[in-house]
Chain A
Amino acid sequence: MKTRTTIFKMLALLIGTAAVFSSCKPKGPADVAMGDAASKVYVAPGKYDEFYNIVSGGFNGQIAVYGIPSGRLFKILPVFSVFPESGYGYSEETKPMLNTSHGFVPWDDLHHIALSTTKGEHDGRWIFANGNNTPRVARVSFKSFRTEEILEIPNSGGNHSSPFITENTEYLVAGTRFSIPMDNKDVPISSYKENFKGSISFVKIDPVNGHMNIAFQLRTPGFNYDLSRAGKGPSHGWFFFSCYNTEQAYTLLEVNASQKDKDFIMAVNWKKAEEYIAQGKGKTEKVRYAHNTYDDKTHSATSKMENEVLVLDVSEFPDIVYFIPCAKSPHGCDVDPTGEYIVGSGKLAAMMPVFSFTKIQNAIANKDYEGDFNGIPVIKYEAALHGEVKKPGLGPLHTEFDEKGNAYTSMFVSSEIVKWNVKTLEILDRVPTYYSIGHLSVPGGPTAKPHGKYVIAYNKITKDRYLPTGPELSQSAQLYDISGDKMRLLLDFPTVGEPHYAEAIPASMITPTSTKIYKIEENEHQYAAKGEAQAKVERKGNEIHVYMTAIRSHLTPDNIEGVRLGDEVFFHVTNLEQDWDVPHGFAIKGAANAEILIMPGETQTLKWKPLTTGVVPFYCTDFCSALHQEMSGYIRISPAGSNTPLKFSTGKIEGQP
């Protein structure tokens, strides 16, 4: 009897202990979203989202367009990567877009987004993006959501601190991630300190048509340039870059570039550099880089090889560049909406320094320097410092701002967003992210006039957030409400590629001018057939040019004969439709490239080389009408040297008039 009581007591104790322990376990993510979160992200069928979220695709080389607050994906917009779905990089018209000094490079690593601004505020004209691998920058039209221009960056070892822009989109910068020996010099890797240089390109943007041209390059000390932001308001005229590996390591950077307590933020007086260039102080260097532009009248891209760039070596011009010591390996280097504060996010540091533009100016005026680096003045840390955000979290990466004077910083290691006051540096709130947030985005967050309302986390690790899909998972973004004092998680949404940076802009700034069709009468394509009467087939040597039209629901011509083995066939397809959302597609059996999608009023060309004789079908690939399946045709391939006459028709039945 006694033994039994003891056993009961022990059991009770065991259960009690287990209960206590389990109640102490941290709460899982399931409990995090608040009660009415669903209604805050619900966009009823047929209704529009409030914001466009323009999200970089990272290693997919594309940009993705999402709606906020719903998180719905609207478009994948190819920039630096071929896209068989639309024929981008496959059609004859778009191939030149991906031309570089290395030839046709069909892929890149698209990291950052910059939306054009006027007076520091969003103006809804262009999206800029950088290609990190084979250094390039791109401009995308906000009207057509298409890539209109790609400019290669010479003297760069990887275009990472890019494509950040000045207040009125005067310049876009392209700073090299890896320093390299200039002029493709063959030198030992160990001669880094001696031979390796940094290179920062200032790309001038034409205010009317957005065309990009490299105005000048700054030759800077050899280390890694990570991110950057332009000044605005009082600091307009300046640019700030985060630098790491000031140790100038060339191997095992993970250890050797993490030795110093402080790296640098590089402050660039670009107005000063502009003056020197105007005075003819720039040196012309021979280089080779491609400049590719797309014209929406000819519906074609052209690639031009440029061979010169103007260079200012900053060591020869001491008043262009200043270094400010910044805690360990800074990533983000973000300027607040007033333009006064510059936040350095040392990703290996336990605090975050916030610098004051006024103090930086005073320090320069008083020559308050602690020394120099390769002849460039290093401003005293305390002289430039507004203050430090103490114990913000682990691994601060990137900061954006709301319209109320608050900052939001992503913490990669401690996997959270931290909200703090820019002036008082006081931490106000923190929320976990799932998992390991990289960049974050507040609508208008990098501009002089943030739209606020939300912060979106772009997480680097997805793990268990969605149904498992094998070893490779989609990326995980999260939407938080920041309208109140406390941040609140509203929504998880999957993203394609690997988003690095993103911006969000009110839909009302974009939708009214969105392109619906291209006017057929404005089509200046060399091979356009602007009506079925203009459809024809021409032979030029062994090239066959088919001037084809597409309209619901037939292709003209749809019977083609007289093509011989050894010929190359160019299908120039013009979509005659003039109604919104009626693209036609074109594909032919055995084509070694892709399909093409042709928007209303547009002409696109698919090149096809037949490899056998016979009769080959082609068809429309975009379901266009109830008679879409009927929208097809045949091309006959005769043996080489045969005398089958060249002929073409639509609706003609043999033996009938």
Chain B
Amino acid sequence: MAAPGQSARPVLVCGEVRTCLLPSFQALDGRAAAQLLRLRADEHVRVSERPNLYVLSPEVLTGVDCRLPTANGARVRAVGTVAARAALTEGRVLQATAYFSAPATGPDLRRPWGQYLVRPGLVEPFGKLPEQATAQGVLRGAGRGELDLGMIAEGLLAGLLRHPLLDHKAPFKSRRTHLRWTARRAPDGEGPALVRFTLAEDGLRSMELRLPADTPAAAAAGLCEDLALHDWLLTTVVHMLDNSRLGAADGPSAVLALRPAVDHLLHLWMPRAHVDRTLGHLWDELEREPGFSRQWHSLVQRIRDQLAVQTIPLLHQALSTR
């Protein structure tokens, strides 16, 4: 007998991505990256070299049996598995994502555990899923004893950061960002849509999507990782420029402060490089407003101009001491 509800399509997918600089003096090459992300000895790590070096771990599961976070305080118990995976871009930016899908309804009894394991990444509510309230609850963050995606993503990240390959000599200081996301099912016949992207304080971002029923949850996770990566790049470079006290600082120290951006970050900007084809166009929303790439290009230009300006006196100096 096939498990009841096996064909039940999820109506909601929720996730959280944590993005940080890999604490390693050198960026990892493809082989080392694959070694880092080999969460299981018997499963392949996916390595992609075009258009940039992108390495994706196999997924690991965490079993949960707890209340779902809900914005209206509704107490809904849910059981299943949360999938988690890690990605490393250009051997430099490390991301950990935890995500789950949920169907509209579930059984009122807990099934034998093996039935949950054959549907990895699915968390079933007891009874009816309060879709809206759960989506909002996930974006707000888990309360005590509620399903905590951030904790699962953090757990994966913490495990990876203990890997002996890492020397913990990050080339510059940066902060982690957290992106929480939800994807509700789009009405039949409608394509995928990005409903909202919110930049909050303390590195917290949230995103609401609408996706057709046939979009795999992993594809949604991939899109969110891509957006989180680029948002992290913007955040980090803006922060670096702020700290360099452009104009105020004397030449060499401004150059020193900006150098890591040139060495490690400027080549990483590559929107939708590994995003599912059906979802790539959602980027357009953020390009229109606020204009992610527009801001990035302006930052890059500023850094290059600044470095050029700083080289002029050095050049003068060099010529005059001849």
A binds B: no
